[in-house]
Structure 1
Amino acid sequence: MDLVTLDHVRAAAADIADVVVRTPLLPCRWDERLLLKPESLQPVGSFKLRGATHAVARLSAEQRARGVVTHSSGNHGQALAYAARAAAAPCTVVIPENAPTVKIEQVRALDAEVVLVPPAERLTTAERIVTEQGRTMIPPYDDRRVIAGQGTVGLEIIEDLPEVEVVLVPVGGGGLASGVSTAIRAVRPSVAVIGVEPEYAADARQSLAAGEVVVWEPARTQRTSADGLRTSLSTLTFAHLRERLDGIVTVTEDEIAAAMARLAREARLVVEPSGAVAAAAHMFRGDELPTGRTVAVVTGGNVDPARLSAALTAP
């Protein structure tokens, strides 16, 4: 299988430069070894804007006119809606009906059509729209263009902190981890790139241990508050992670909530559960991680206000 290369990531960086924010590395007052890469500061509140912008930039004029479609728990949907609107392309987003209301409303605010479906029907519904309407599918992670776009996070980390030794990156469908590990392995192979998953959605860790993609049923992954990490790896992302990721650790729901609260109070970052898992791993799983100067990727900040309040007020 052809994997994304450093050249692909660098091409994506050029495509997205005028749209995507180059997020800073923020020092942590509670641990001088840790820096945060706050992708929650992107215009749509998550790193997903990188891959979506690159994918739309690579469409032909005819494809843009016909429009795009995707399936998403919210963040990729917002990102694609944002990128499509900028390119004057119609956009439809298929969203699981149990996704956070705040994410659904934000997709609609970007002029995209929203189709709500049971979680198990998101992909098949999006595929039906491709067939019926002739739209181009831009998957949330199972796409080389998207992986290359997400890999720009890794490029920026290496450029801004050449002495980095460990990068912690959340893993859901694996697009971000695939892209980041691709960029970092190519530029600085000595850096350890470690994936982080919720214990309630640890299918990627199981997949890598088994040597093949293991899919957890939606009823199983719905237990985690990290809704952006409930998806399973694809064959494409599995191939990247098997080749380039240095390991995966898991965190509990209580640890995710504690990380959300600490990031809000001490880093002044509003972070959703999926975006907090990398910081949670550094806070609670240090004995399972390589040592050294570490960057935790904070992937998104589109959190339901009630969930954020619960995290902040937990004993």
Structure 2
Amino acid sequence: MVTLQELQWAKEKLSPHIIETPVVRMEILDALMGCRVYLKLENIQRTNSFKIRGALNKMLSMRPEELKNGVVAASSGNHGKGVAFVAELLGVKATIVVPESTPNIKVEGIQSYGAEIVKCPYEKRHEVAGKLSLDHGYALIHPYDDEAIIAGQGTIGLELIEQLPEVDQVVVPIGGGGLIGGIATAVKLTAPHVKVIGVEPACMPRYTKSLEAGERVLLEPAHSIADAILTLQPGAVNFPIVQKYVDHVVTVPEEEIPDGSTTLLTAGKISAEFSSAIVLAAALHGRLPVKPEDRVCFVISGGNIDPADIVRQMAGSDAVSDQT
């Protein structure tokens, strides 16, 4: 388990390099979400994603000799962009393995920091990254299954509790479990009365099924518009943290996921990835255990999306509505 001291050390280490992202009150969303809405805006973080936090904490903790041959990471995009940023900062080579379906905005973002891109089927990305590490001596920077990564992501939770000590619930997207594992640890070790809720796609319910089974369940590959959170199995380090500290995990059907991003853009004037705004989609469709008086902070984990993709989803919804 990650300790409070490790979280505090990570916060000190990261502070010169990242933005302490704001918590914003969004009254305009209250009636839609069924609670008092606050947003923790990691979509405006450097690299436009929370992932820079874990990558920084991990790579700043490594010895120079570990990094001398370069680094490699498997990523759906945001982790790769964070690793590429840190690699450029430290002057080391970075190779990022991404799914063939990775949006161009994420590929271009990774390349903007000088990293090399390797594409493969998304279920093979960890295997390919591992082979590159063995073949070339690259240091492998895992996207979530690592205590240093979890501690880096957990700095969001420390900031959030300092910024909004009266919060009742924190709602977090779930992929492999690095983000929710870090945030839940920080929240429960500093404000144990605050509830932590995770949200994942219904087509990829790896934590829902694993928590029900009491062990890590490996799922079959599936497609989702929430491309950043399609991990097939909970991380080995992450799963016991989620078991201990997360109060609920809910799922969102595929057809409801885009509603989080479209509502956030139209009503809140904020651009967020489908994988990030899934937390708002859950609230919009009544899938969260919230009450109107609850102060609920939704972690908006990333903003690496082409706004045209949101517009296309909105146009598609209108077309469906016109036909029904």
TM-score by length of 2: 0.92
- Mapped to 2, the partners of 1:216 and 1:289 lie a distance apart of 29
Map of 2:298 onto structure 1: 296
Map of 1:307 onto structure 2: 309
Map of 1:38 onto structure 2: 41
Q: Which moved more, 1:162-171 or 1:244-253?
A: 244-253
Q: Which moved more, 1:225-234 or 1:61-70?
A: 61-70
- Aligned partner (choices 104, 110, 113) of residue 113 of structure 2: 110
Q: Deviations over 1:67-103 (max 9, x none)?
A: 1111000000000000110111111101111111221
Q: Deviations over 1:178-213 (max 9, x none)?
A: 000000000000000000011111111111111011
Map of 2:238 onto structure 1: 237
Q: 1:267 corresponds to which letter in structure 2? A: G
Query: Please, what is the CA RMSD of the aligned residues?
Result: 1.4
- Mapped to 2, the partners of 1:61 and 1:100 lie a distance apart of 32
Change (3 A) 1:270 1:245: same
Whether 1:90 and 2:93 are equivalent positions in the alignment is yes
Map of 2:268 onto structure 1: 267
Whether 1:195 and 2:198 are equivalent positions in the alignment is yes
Q: 2:103 corresponds to which letter in structure 1? A: P
Q: Deviations over 1:235-264 (max 9, x none)?
A: 111111011111101112332211111111
- Mapped to 1, the partners of 2:288 and 2:179 lie a distance apart of 24
- Mapped to 1, the partners of 2:135 and 2:214 lie a distance apart of 36
- Aligned partner (choices 22, 25, 45) of residue 27 of structure 1: 25
- Mapped to 2, the partners of 1:286 and 1:170 lie a distance apart of 14
What secondary structure, in the 3-state scheme, does the structure 1 residue paired with 2:237 have?
helix
Whether 1:140 and 2:143 are equivalent positions in the alignment is yes
- Mapped to 1, the partners of 2:119 and 2:272 lie a distance apart of 24
What secondary structure, in the 3-state scheme, does the structure 2 residue paired with 1:238 have?
helix
What secondary structure, in the 3-state scheme, does the structure 1 residue paired with 2:46 have?
coil
What secondary structure, in the 3-state scheme, does the structure 2 residue paired with 1:177 have?
helix
- Superposed, which structure 2 residues align to 1:43-192 within 5 Å? 43-192=46-195
Q: 1:134 corresponds to which letter in structure 2? A: G
- Mapped to 1, the partners of 2:66 and 2:84 lie a distance apart of 15
Change (3 A) 1:282 1:128: same
Give the aligned length: 310
- Mapped to 2, the partners of 1:298 and 1:143 lie a distance apart of 22
Q: Which moved more, 1:99-108 or 1:186-195?
A: 99-108
Change (3 A) 1:106 1:124: same
- Mapped to 2, the partners of 1:234 and 1:190 lie a distance apart of 26
Q: Is the 8 A contact 2:25 2:38 kept in 1?
A: yes
Q: Which moved more, 1:145-154 or 1:281-290?
A: 281-290
Q: Is the 8 A contact 1:64 1:88 kept in 2?
A: no
Q: 1:226 corresponds to which letter in structure 2? A: A
Q: CA deviation at 1:217?
A: 1.6
**Sequence identity percentage:** 37
Q: Which moved more, 1:105-114 or 1:166-175?
A: 105-114
Q: CA deviation at 1:30?
A: 2.2
Map of 2:15 onto structure 1: 17
Q: Deviations over 1:27-74 (max 9, x none)?
A: 112217110011110121110011011111111111232211110000
Runs of 4+ in structure 1 off by over 3 angstroms are: 286-291
- Mapped to 2, the partners of 1:38 and 1:307 lie a distance apart of 20
Change (3 A) 1:286 1:97: closer
Q: Which moved more, 1:188-197 or 1:117-126?
A: 117-126
Q: Is the 8 A contact 2:250 2:288 kept in 1?
A: no
Q: 1:77 corresponds to which letter in structure 2? A: G
Q: 1:13 corresponds to which letter in structure 2? A: K
TM-score by length of 1: 0.95
What secondary structure, in the 3-state scheme, does the structure 2 residue paired with 1:163 have?
coil
Q: Deviations over 1:131-178 (max 9, x none)?
A: 111111110001111000000111111000100010000001000000
Change (3 A) 1:241 1:287: closer
What secondary structure, in the 3-state scheme, does the structure 2 residue paired with 1:92 have?
strand
Q: 2:313 corresponds to which letter in structure 1? A: A
